[in-house]
Amino acid sequence: QVQLVESGGGLAQAGGSLRLSCAASGRTFSNYVMGWFRQAPGKEREFVAAISRSGSIRDYAGSVKGRFTISRDNVKNLVYLQMNSLKLEDTGMYYCAVTTNMGRRQGSDYDYWGPGTQVTVSS
């Protein structure tokens, strides 16, 4: 089994920055592709970003490309999401998740999920 715990969420102003962290345990961390998803009230969960096992390949949703950066530390078993130039539309619950392959953007393609951390962007 895999356990994931997100942290770093909170309140930020539009144009500001936040960095989310996800701590993973239970399986060999480097075996997993890691992803971030988010869900706003009344909306479907949407893909945000993913990173390959080595960290050499990154995939971003068009809505966040150029503003967000996903990274990982395989020594510490951590995945990060650096969020810059935040917009009101970035508000939502952010979840980290694990899978075994890159190129997947559907939540059903991911095997394990954290409980989420709330991000609220104010104007």
Mean local confidence (pLDDT), 59-64: 98
pLDDT value at position 117? 98
Q: Would the pLDDT of 27 be above 80?
A: no
Q: Would the pLDDT of 56 be above 90?
A: yes
Q: Helix, strand or coil for residue 84?
A: coil
Mean local confidence (pLDDT), 93-102: 94
**Cα 2 to the chain's mean position, in Å?**
16
**Cα 66 to the chain's mean position, in Å?**
15
Helices (H), 7-122: none
Q: How many CB atoms lie within 10 A of CB 85?
A: 13
**Residue 89: partners with Cβ closer than 8 Å, 6 or more residues away:** 40, 63, 121
Transcribe 89-113 into DSSP letters: GG-EEEEEEEES-SS--SGGG--EE
Question: Of all residues in the chain, what percent carry a pLDDT higher than 90?
Answer: 87
Q: How many CB atoms lie within 10 A of CB 60?
A: 18
Least confident of 3-7, 16-20, 27-31: 27-31
Mean pLDDT of all residues belonging to the chain:
95
Question: Which of the four pLDDT bands, split at 50, 70 and 90, describes residue 30?
Answer: confident
